[in-house]
Amino acid sequence: MCGEEQILTLVELGQRQETANPEEAAKSYLQAADLLLEQSQARPERENEYVAVANKLYLKAKKLKNKTIPGNLLAAKDNKIGFKDIGGLEELKEEIRFKIIEPFRNPDLFRYYGKQAGGGILMYGPPGCGKSLIAKATATEAKVNFIHVKGSDIKSKYVGETEKNIADLFQKAREAQPAIIFFDEFEALGGDRTEAAAHERSAVAQLLTEMDGVDTRSQQILLLAATNEPWSIDPALRREGRFGTSIFIPPPDQDARRAIFQLHMSNKPTNQLDYDSLAEETAGLSGADLKSICEMAADIPLKESFITKKRREICREDVETAIMKVSSVLKQWFAKAQEQVVRMKLEELFPELMLNKKQLVIMA
């Protein structure tokens, strides 16, 4: 096969593989680009043309390769979720400002007071209480790009793949800096080394290497992680300079529940709902539960209007009906958490998870 024909074949191969196998497609494009550069030297009269096409193929390959690296990149300019979208949790927002956002913006000031910049923050707590929401909002408040990655997306059963994924992810973050890497379902990745199988341990080791390698003076990468199983995170990852700070994200309290109701009803027509008493009635429910109550409550008059051809506002009764339908997993989660924490003798580390009987009854 002569040069041009071979190049065409490689480009066609790349095009066919783009969706099903982006990594292979990228390889084909890169090979084609290399051949084009070779050809450009042999045929100086067409050099400019060949180099231009080679460049195009090279960029295409780079884009495809990025696609195969775990982690969804959300550019700061496209991130619309901020602290204003989080109901309640005011103290937590302050803590995040002080521990994450400000050190990131004013590293010199923090160093002046002997504070160590860098490291990551681990958020833990029951499902649906705003961990992912907070991570996304933190990126907006800090005006940085946001890379969201799930532990299960990084973890591979093939030897060596997990480490490669982690290294690629950090490379992606360096290219997108300033950026936050948010590790969701962190337990899948940072699970306790003593309990994990041998080849899984290397994920933690690779993560430690990459984290220790993030030099906050030269690199603007922030690390956040979230888990529903804090007890199974490797203690080595919880040390200072790594995920040395853990923050418990609690179920919403009375004020937070009222704020969440107001937020999720703000784009819906309502008939003078008494948010204070609704918040009282929903003690023990998560933010996600409250959101689904608002959605279910809106569905009632919406469906009615198909028949009546009239539009009425959402009323208290609709919300009450929705509240009856929701069943929260919080109580179950706290019971399981307590059992694990006691079994592993970690009560001192996670005092927030040790609810007394009265608190558990409220959630029933």
Ligand X SMILES: Nc1ncnc2c1ncn2[C@@H]1O[C@H](COP(=O)(O)OP(=O)(O)OP(=O)(O)O)[C@@H](O)[C@H]1O
Which CB, 173 or 293, lies closer to ligand X? 293
Beta strand pairing call for 72-74 and 145-150: antiparallel
Q: Which of 6, 21, 79, 132 binds Mg ion (CB under 5 A)?
A: 132
Q: Which of 35, 86, 154, 173 binds ligand X (CB under 6 A)?
A: 86
Residue 183 in contact with residue 223, Cβ under 8 Å?
yes
Q: Which of 18, 24, 51, 127 binds ligand X (CB under 6 A)?
A: 127
Q: Which does 144 bind (CB under 5 to 8 A by kind): ligand X, Mg ion, none?
A: none
Binding piece for ligand X, criterion CB under 6 A, among 46-54, 196-204, 286-294, 324-332: 286-294
228 near ligand X (CB under 6 A)? yes
263 near ligand X (CB under 6 A)? yes
Binding piece for ligand X, criterion CB under 6 A, among 25-33, 81-89, 310-318, 350-358: 81-89
292 near Mg ion (CB under 5 A)? no
Helix axes 3-17, 22-42, angle to 10 degrees: 160
To ligand X, the closest distance from the beta carbon of 297 in angstroms equals 15
Write the single-letter amino acid at 191: G
CA–CA distances in Å: residue 66 to residues 23, 24, 72, 113, 201: 9, 13, 10, 39, 26
Q: Which does 89 bind (CB under 5 to 8 A by kind): Mg ion, ligand X, none?
A: ligand X
Q: Give the other-Cβ count within 10 Å of 323's Cβ.
A: 17
88 near ligand X (CB under 6 A)? yes
Q: Give the other-Cβ count within 10 Å of 356's Cβ.
A: 7
Q: Which does 142 bind (CB under 5 to 8 A by kind): ligand X, Mg ion, none?
A: none
Binding mask 129-148 for ligand X (x = CB under 6 A): xxxxx---------------
Strand order of the β-sheet with 72-74 is 72-74, 145-150, 179-184, 221-227, 120-124, 245-248
Q: What own/partner pairs with CB < 8 Å and gap ≥ 24 does 2-5 have? A: 3/35, 3/38, 3/39, 3/42, 4/39
287 near ligand X (CB under 6 A)? yes
To Mg ion, the closest distance from the beta carbon of 184 in angstroms equals 5
Residue 297 in contact with residue 321, Cβ under 8 Å?
yes
Residue nearest to ligand X (CB): 287
288 near ligand X (CB under 6 A)? yes
252 near ligand X (CB under 6 A)? yes
H-type alpha helices, the chain:
3-17, 22-42, 47-68, 90-96, 102-105, 107-112, 131-142, 151-154, 161-176, 187-190, 198-213, 254-265, 275-281, 287-308, 316-325, 330-343, 357-362
- Cα torsion 6, 9, 10, 13 to 10°: value is -160
- For CA atoms 308, 309, 315, 319, give the dihedral sign: positive
Q: How far, rounded to the nearest angstrom, does the alpha carbon of residue 231 sit from its chain's CA centroid?
A: 20
Binding piece for Mg ion, criterion CB under 5 A, among 60-68, 96-104, 126-134, 265-273: 126-134
DSSP 8-state symbol, 185: S
Among candidate residues 258, 235, 256, the one with its CA nearest the CA of residue 246: 235
Q: Which does 130 bind (CB under 5 to 8 A by kind): ligand X, Mg ion, none?
A: ligand X
Binding piece for ligand X, criterion CB under 6 A, among 19-27, 42-50, 85-93, 190-198: 85-93
Residues 299-328 that bind Mg ion (CB under 5 A): none
Binding mask 224-263 for Mg ion (x = CB under 5 A): ----------------------------------------
Q: Number of residues in contact with Mg ion, rule: CB under 5 A?
A: 2
Site residues for ligand X per CB under 6 A: 86-89, 127-133, 226, 228, 252, 256, 260, 263, 287-288, 291
Site residues for Mg ion per CB under 5 A: 131-132
